[in-house]
Amino acid sequence: MNFRTKTLNFKKAIIIYGFLVLGIFLPFLALNAQTVEDRRNELKQALEVLDAQIQELNDSIAGGKQQSATLQKEINILKNEAKKIELEIKQLDLAIAEARLEIDEKDKEIDQIEKKLSSRKTTLAEFLRKINEADQASLFEIVLSHKKFSDFFNKINAVQDLHREIKEFFEKTQALKKKTEEEKEDAEEQKRQYERLRSIQGVKKSDLTEKRGQQETLLSRTKGRESEYKKSIVQKQKDAASIRSQLFLLAGSAAIPFEKAIEYANFAFQKTGIRPAFLLGVFKVESEMGANVGKGNWREDLSHPRCASQRKAFEQITAELGLNPDLMPVSKTAWYGYCGGAMGPAQFMPATWLGYKSKIAALSGHNPPNPWDPQDAFIAAALLLKNNGGAGGPANEKTAALKYLAGANWQKTAYQFYGNEVMSYAREYQEQIEILQSLASR
């Protein structure tokens, strides 16, 4: 093959490269983008309608609790709470559909990018082959193949241009690879949030059954008479022992007496300023979600290559604590995801725990801190909630709880029920704490 032929091949390669670059940076999924966007807008509008209805019920429930205690008021509150849960379950159905839509779209986008990367590898190999062919020709052969020196220098410039194009090709390929990794990380986070939505849906269905049961129990106990209801209220206020001894369930750890949970929450409050009842509300929801996620094992649920950093962090945590990693419970991997591994009552991922490790140790006095130890977990959760702005009143608490669940996606309408649930439990725990405090002051 003479140098003229080589040059023509170089030009063809450059033309191919130009078309390739244009193709790579065109928007993905153009054919079905409008359909996906329409569906997303429909889901968003439906979620907003349900959210408004839920807020009305929240206001009604809150207003009812400020009224004098009567049997009818209590029944109305329970009915409204049951209606609210029914709406939240519908909202979750829509939120799960929206999350599934986004995950599918993200997976398709990643697939398209990876196909483009594969195509780039083929083109790059062709470039390198042609450069190698040019390098095989000696300077003497190249000079003799041209009648004019100007032709010779033109060909030299063409080769130099090709080298520059290849350099740019490399840089854009690296940028595309980085984009692929970022998209994969985003997709993984969306999948974790999707799993949490599905977990909470199971919790809400249990809550609905519980609320209906409470209504039936109330009517059965009072026989529909106001006088009997008044007696039950007085007994409830006197029954501090049952409040103290009731078990407080924790994810990934043994249940503890409610009085001990209050002790840990008060300790965390002294260190971080996070209100005890609010912190208990977060742990209540997380424990319910943890029960629905199920128990996993690090060897299986952190086995995927994308979980390498989490696996390494988990091994470091258990080694420092002298624990057998095979015996320590973690959250299971979602069926469509890559990494499980959330640890203990606070449900921190291993790498996140290491990021808070020194701060937890400084406040709890445990060095190293243990994610399965309730006191350390309370401190860890309180620190994260404080970082999320949760030490400044109910509105800030709800926002902090939403960030605890969804991070940067906390403003999505689909996740508002989580904040509502946490704050609902926080109100219940505040009432119980105040009963204990009033009895202790007598």
The domains of the chain, with CATH numbers, are: 1-238 (no CATH), 243-442 (1.10.530.10)
Phi-psi region at 2: left, alpha or beta (left = phi > 0; alpha = psi -120 to 50): beta
Adjacent-strand bridge partners of 296: 330
* pLDDT digit string, tens, across residues 26-39: 343 343 445 767 77
State the pTM of this model: 0.65
Confidence of residue 442 (pLDDT cuts 50, 70, 90): low
When pLDDT is averaged across residues 309-322 and rounded to a whole number, the result is 97
When pLDDT is averaged across residues 42-53 and rounded to a whole number, the result is 80
Q: Between 202 and 83, name the one with better pLDDT.
A: 83
CA dihedral 29, 31, 32, 38 (to 10 degrees): 110
pLDDT at 174: 76
State the average pLDDT for the chain. 76
Question: Using CB atoms within 10 A of its CB, is residue 141 exposed (0-12), middle (13-18) or buried (19+)?
Answer: exposed
Confidence of residue 79 (pLDDT cuts 50, 70, 90): confident
pLDDT at 220: 76
When pLDDT is averaged across residues 194-214 and rounded to a whole number, the result is 74
When pLDDT is averaged across residues 363-374 and rounded to a whole number, the result is 96
Highest mean predicted confidence (pLDDT) among 45-54, 71-80, 135-144, 259-268: 259-268
Rounded Cα distance between 82 and 75, Å, is 11
Rounded Cα distance between 144 and 166, Å, is 27
Confidence of residue 359 (pLDDT cuts 50, 70, 90): very high
Q: Return the minimum-mean-pLDDT range out of 1-10, 62-71, 268-277, 284-293.
A: 1-10
The values of phi and psi at residue 348, to 5°, are -85, 140
* pLDDT at 428 exceeding the cut of 60: yes
Task: Work out the angle between the directed axes of helices 276-293 and 394-406 (0-180°, nearest 10).
Answer: 30
Q: Return the minimum-mean-pLDDT range out of 2-11, 143-152, 194-203, 211-220.
A: 2-11
